[in-house]
């Protein structure tokens, strides 16, 4: 069993000064795979002071120097890409096909940001003023367990590009992948103190990050509940914030949608990352007259999905990350049954084929009540709620009847019609006739209680900027 007992502070791996630890299990087999030690508040304070001191010099580096750093990180990560993939599958249980694609995209972010740097408008002049964009300073980053490497890269790349320094609290459940990533970072000779990583819980060290006066900005990805607490903490020192929070994303099948063609896309979205995705299309809105056909197609398609070992190339749905998440999803399924939703397939208990592993049955509910808990709250598991509508105006109202606004999906045989519908959805991102766009680094973030700000390519750089005006 691997022992993770070091933070990464000031370019060095430093032993964690605590006896508190957490044992991680392989979610597929429930075998113990790692023990991670949890840091003390003083260790977070040390990392923050280090980042603040380093910012004074790193912020003065040239664009060319920072471009070279981004290239070096990319090159080192590429050398160890397969190891990063294997560790993510081992400790999180994400399917290898999803992990392989996500890992490659994450690594390539360093090249994408490097390219953005070539034309980024740090200085803009007119007759009587000069507008300057400069790095915000020390950025505190708190990331979840459902896309660890992607979140590490999407924060580190733009921060380095702008001459910022970082203190990162990764999820304790991704300790193995995080350690492998840090070893790559170390070999890439990133200047000491630019990237600092402190292991621990949100309560012990994460909260310090959000309150510390030397931290200038917070980037948080996680639940809306935690995001609200972070918002409150940051208000004490008026920190800049980028919050990418929860979702309860609608998928709308318009009247003219080709159901046989789109249902596989619907389930690909709903069960993305085994349902452990903030952007999952977990509410399916269908024309009432076509409900029976949708039900038939959903059952036929789900029966063809391979559930099981995430190392298998054919697997579409893997396990929940741990027992706690398994129990959470079970509680939601139980709630749906008790509140009277019609259970089309799936339900309570582990997938029958497996004696071990946190495998939730892919579940579909037919819901005629928008107020049900399973319709309104983010479940973070393979649970899809199907809601029939009478008219497309009602579908739009239902789609927007949520506290969230992170993602949405619209399917129609008429792309222009889908576009006009999509414009009316209150969501930070709307995909048309696909569950996975090929767009290169579009802005990502939420409306309403799904967050603040946007990340992705140039938008990530804007999120980590301050703007100064010099007037004549």
Please give the order of strands across the beta sheet that includes 21-25: 2-4, 32-37, 21-25
Q: Look at phi and psi of residue 212 and say left if phi exceeds 0, alpha if psi is from -120 to 50, else beta.
A: beta
How far apart are alpha carbons 402 and 420 in whole angstroms?
20
How far apart are alpha carbons 159 and 154 in whole angstroms?
9
Sign of CA dihedral 470, 468, 115, 435: negative
Secondary structure of 418-437 as H, E, C letters: HHHHHCCCCCCEEEECCCCC
Residue 25, classed as helix, strand or coil, is strand
DSSP string, 295-331: HHHHHHHHHT-EES-TTSTTEEE---SSHHHHHHHHH
Counting every residue written for the chain, the total comes to 472
Residues of 302-315 as b/e, b for ≥16 C-beta within 10 angstroms? Answer: beebebbbbeeeeb
Active-site annotation holds for 244:
yes
How far apart are alpha carbons 59 and 54 in whole angstroms?
8
Copy the structure tokens of residue 15.
């032993």
Q: Count of CB atoms within 10 A of residue 192's CB? A: 15
Please, what is the Cα angle at 276 between 97 and 204, to 5 degrees? 120
How far apart are alpha carbons 344 and 320 in whole angstroms?
21
CA neighbor of 450 nearest in space, from 408, 422, 397, 420: 408
How far apart are alpha carbons 313 and 281 in whole angstroms?
23
DSSP assignment letter at 360: B
How far apart are alpha carbons 165 and 168 in whole angstroms?
10
Among the listed residues 43, 46, 76, 244, the single catalytic one is 244
> In this structure, are residues 50 and 214 in contact, taking their beta carbons and an 8 Å threshold?
no
Q: Which helix (H) or strand (E) holds 16?
A: none
How far apart are alpha carbons 99 and 310 in whole angstroms?
9
| Active site amino acids | 244
């Amino acid at each position: 069993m691997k022992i993770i007992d070091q933070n990464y502070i000031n370019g060095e791996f430093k032993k964690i000064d605590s006896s508190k630890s957490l044992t991680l299990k392989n979610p597929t087999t429930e075998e113990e795979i790692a023990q991670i030690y949890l840091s003390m508040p003083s260790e977070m304070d040390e990392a923050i002071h280090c980042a603040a001191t380093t910012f004074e010099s790193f912020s003065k580096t040239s664009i060319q120097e920072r471009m070279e750093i981004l290239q070096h990180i990319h090159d080192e990560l590429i050398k160890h890409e397969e190891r990063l993939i294997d560790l993510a599958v081992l400790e999180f249980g994400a399917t290898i096909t999803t992990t392989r694609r996500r890992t490659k995209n994450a690594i390539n972010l360093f090249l994408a940001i490097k390219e953005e740097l070539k034309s980024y408008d740090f200085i803009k002049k007119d007759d009587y003023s000069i507008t300057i964009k400069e790095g915000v300073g020390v950025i505190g980053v708190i990331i979840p367990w459902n896309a660890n490497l992607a979140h590490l890269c999407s924060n580190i790349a733009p921060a380095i590009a702008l001459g910022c320094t970082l203190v990162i609290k990764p999820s304790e459940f991704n300790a193995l992948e995080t350690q492998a990533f840090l070893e790559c970072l170390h070999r890439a000779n990133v200047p000491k103190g630019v990237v600092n990583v402190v292991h621990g819980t949100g309560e012990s060290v994460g909260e310090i990050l959000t309150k510390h006066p030397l931290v200038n900005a917070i980037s948080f990805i996680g639940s809306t509940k935690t995001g609200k607490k972070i918002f409150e903490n940051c208000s004490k020192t008026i920190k800049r914030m980028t919050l990418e929070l929860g979702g309860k994303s609608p998928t709308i099948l318009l009247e003219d949608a080709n159901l046989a063609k789109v249902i596989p896309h619907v389930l690909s979205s709903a069960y993305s990352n085994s349902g452990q995705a903030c952007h999952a299309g977990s509410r399916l809105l269908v024309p009432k007259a076509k409900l029976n056909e949708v039900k038939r197609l959903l059952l036929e398609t789900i029966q063809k999905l391979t559930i099981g070992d995430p190392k298998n190339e054919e697997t579409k749905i893997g396990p929940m990350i741990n027992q706690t998440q398994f129990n959470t999803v079970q509680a939601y399924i139980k709630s749906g049954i008790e509140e009277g939703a019609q259970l089309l397939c799936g339900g309570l208990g582990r997938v029958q084929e497996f004696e071990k592993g946190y495998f939730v049955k892919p579940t579909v509910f037919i819901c005629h009540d928008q107020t049900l808990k399973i319709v309104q709250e983010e479940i973070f598991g393979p649970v899809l709620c199907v809601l029939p509508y009478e008219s497309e105006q009602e579908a739009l109202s239902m789609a927007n009847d949520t506290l969230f606004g992170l993602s949405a999906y619209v399917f129609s045989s008429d792309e222009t019609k889908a576009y006009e519908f999509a414009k009316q959805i209150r969501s930070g991102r709307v995909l048309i006739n696909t569950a996975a766009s090929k767009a290169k680094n579009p802005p990502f973030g939420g409306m309403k209680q799904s967050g603040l700000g946007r990340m992705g390519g140039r938008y990530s750089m804007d999120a980590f900027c301050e703007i100064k005006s010099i007037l004549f």
